[in-house]
């Protein structure tokens, strides 16, 4: 009975935090909620120690950014862990300090970590693949250790452990996707020598035994070691960005860096398609003609991805996430979100049939409308369609170019809302 009550208490807290995160105005949107002076940081925090690829002990460190507890009304905030790229050879945590600062300004707690680098790389695709696999395995071990550390120190940084996200760029995206989608047995099926050499994926780096659950991924031009390892039980929401012509982490699938000697991987579009097929919400932006590392050359491009990710995560808080695939650079715009809590359905004023629909549907009002207006909002609160100056008792709503997903329909007459309905457009 005690365990049942504890479970119900935890579920209640989770639901309350999600509702709170959905209704806090411009927090967790494309718009900063705090200014830089209201953000605190903890640099070079040691989250573990492990042997590097040369067999020497290495301190594992991370940089944390978070709204100052003295200015933030929330004692616990959603957390995102970011992992840098560099082909498992180079890069440092500081390369994502800007990203962490921007997420923190939007209300998140964010961390960027250093992890063990190094393998026997060589020119002309002649690197040692065993050494490469061990490098990948070490990165996932270190990501596990960092997340255990974040949970163990949640009170210090103000982390809500019910809402933890992960992501990164290139090798970092690869690390966090495989952390989320690949378990020990599956990794052993591809490279059993890794566990034999380095131990378990989830016990290296520190002795902490805290557990964590990743609720979503911020995936930038990465991949997964085997798409068949992604099962329904692992399917979590993901927002991702990739270039159509990426020859390092191919958009669909292929050998790493186009080297037949290197592992065959499945890229962002393959992961997106698999997640959608499994019923998980996923957003993917594919840059036509783009290569490896799209939207990373300037702070403005970094911001574009950060803003999109913030709005994506907010849609999870609000339970309004819908899958979305685009080749356009559509800016994020969820600060004026119309939350589902604002859509009180009024069954006696109008009805919609069919709903869901694929081509068109009809709105049947309970009286003859004069100079009415219909506004259709998408799940980000953006106006997707607007029909002014309507008259009659039946109104036809055509799909036109609207994407599949959840929408909110408002029907007004004489500037008074007479109906608010949820509608679903299918393929």
DSSP letters spanning 237-289: -EEEEEETT-SSS-SSEEEGGG-TTSPEEEEHHHHHHHHHHTT--EEEEEETT
Least confident segment among 175-189, 232-246, 383-397: 383-397
Distances in whole angstroms, Cα of residue 62 to Cα of each of 68, 84, 153, 169, 174: 18, 11, 13, 16, 18
Q: Work out whether strand 77-83 and strand 159-169 pair parallel, antiparallel, or are unpaired.
A: parallel
Question: pLDDT digits over 33-66, tens only?
Answer: 999 999 999 999 999 999 999 999 999 999 999 9
The CA distance from 144 to 150, in Å, is: 10
The CA distance from 34 to 27, in Å, is: 9
For residues 411 and 397, the answer to whether their CB atoms sit within 8 Å is no
Least confident segment among 63-77, 134-148, 406-420: 406-420
- Please report how the helices 97-105 and 299-317 are oriented relative to each other, as an axis angle in degrees rounded to 10: 40
Higher pLDDT, 22 or 250: 250
Question: pLDDT digits over 178-223, tens only?
Answer: 999 999 999 999 999 999 999 999 999 999 999 999 999 999 999 9
Contacts of residue 307, defined as CB under 8 A and 6 or more positions apart, other chains included, come to: 29, 30, 331, 332
Q: Is the dihedral of CA 13, 14, 16, 17 positive or negative?
A: positive
Decide: pTM greater than 0.85: no
Top-ranked range on mean pLDDT: pick from 132-141, 366-375, 403-412: 132-141
- DSSP tag of 393: E
Tokens of 321: 């996430």
Q: Say how many C-beta atoms besides its own lie within 10 A of residue 416's C-beta.
A: 7
**Average pLDDT of the chain?**
90
What is the greatest pairwise CA distance in the chain?
80
Higher pLDDT, 229 or 406: 229
pLDDT of residue 13 exceeding 70: no
DSSP lists the bridge partners of residue 77 as 159
Strand ordering across the sheet containing 109-113: 39-51, 57-67, 109-113, 77-83, 159-169, 214-220, 238-243, 282-287, 324-326
Higher pLDDT, 114 or 359: 114
Confidence of residue 380 (pLDDT cuts 50, 70, 90): low
Question: 3-class SS at 224?
Answer: strand
All domains of the chain in start order, with CATH: 2-326 (3.40.50.1820), 340-425 (2.60.40.3080)
The CA distance from 49 to 59, in Å, is: 5
């Amino acid at each position: 009975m005690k365990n049942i009550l504890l479970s119900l208490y935890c579920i209640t807290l989770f639901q309350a935090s999600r509702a709170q995160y959905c209704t806090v105005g411009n927090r967790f949107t494309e718009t900063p909620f705090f200014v830089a002076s209201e953000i605190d940081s903890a640099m070079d925090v040691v989250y573990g120690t492990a042997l590097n690829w040369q067999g020497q002990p290495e301190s594992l460190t991370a940089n944390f950014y978070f709204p100052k507890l003295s200015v933030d009304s929330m004692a616990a905030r959603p957390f995102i862990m970011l992992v840098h790229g560099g082909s498992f050879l180079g890069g440092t945590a500081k390369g994502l300090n800007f990203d962490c600062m921007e997420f923190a300004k939007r209300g998140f707690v964010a961390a960027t970590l250093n992890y063990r680098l190094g393998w026997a790389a060589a020119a002309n695709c002649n690197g040692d693949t065993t050494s490469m696999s061990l490098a990948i395995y070490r990165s996932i071990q270190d990501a596990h250790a960092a997340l255990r550390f974040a949970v163990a120190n949640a009170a210090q940084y103000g982390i809500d452990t019910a809402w933890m996200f992960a992501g990164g760029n290139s090798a970092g995206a690869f690390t966090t996707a495989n952390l989320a989608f690949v378990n020990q047995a599956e990794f052993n099926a591809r490279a059993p020598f890794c566990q034999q050499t380095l131990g378990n994926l989830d016990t290296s780096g520190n002795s902490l035994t805290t557990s964590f659950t990743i609720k979503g991924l911020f995936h930038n031009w990465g991949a997964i070691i085997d798409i068949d390892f992604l099962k329904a039980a692992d399917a979590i929401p993901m927002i991702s960005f990739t270039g159509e012509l990426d020859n390092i982490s191919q958009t669909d699938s292929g050998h790493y860096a186009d080297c037949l000697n290197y592992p065959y991987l499945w890229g962002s579009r393959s992961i997106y398609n698999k997640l959608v097929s499994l019923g998980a919400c996923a957003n993917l932006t594919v840059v036509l003609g783009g290569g490896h590392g799209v939207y990373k050359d300037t702070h403005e491009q970094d911001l574009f991805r950060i803003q999109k990710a913030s709005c994506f995560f907010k849609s999870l808080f609000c339970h309004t996430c819908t899958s979305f695939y685009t080749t356009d650079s559509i800016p994020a715009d969820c600060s004026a979100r119309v939350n589902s809590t604002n859509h009180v359905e009024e069954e006696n004023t109008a009805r919609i049939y069919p709903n869901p629909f694929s081509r068109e549907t009809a709105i049947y009002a309970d009286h003859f409308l004069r100079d009415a207006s219909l506004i259709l909002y998408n799940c980000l609160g953006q106006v997707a369609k607007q029909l002014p100056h309507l008259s009659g008792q039946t109104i036809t709503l055509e799909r036109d170019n609207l994407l599949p997903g959840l929408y909110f329909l408002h029907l007004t007459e004489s500037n008074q809302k007479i109906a608010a309905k949820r509608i679903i457009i299918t393929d």
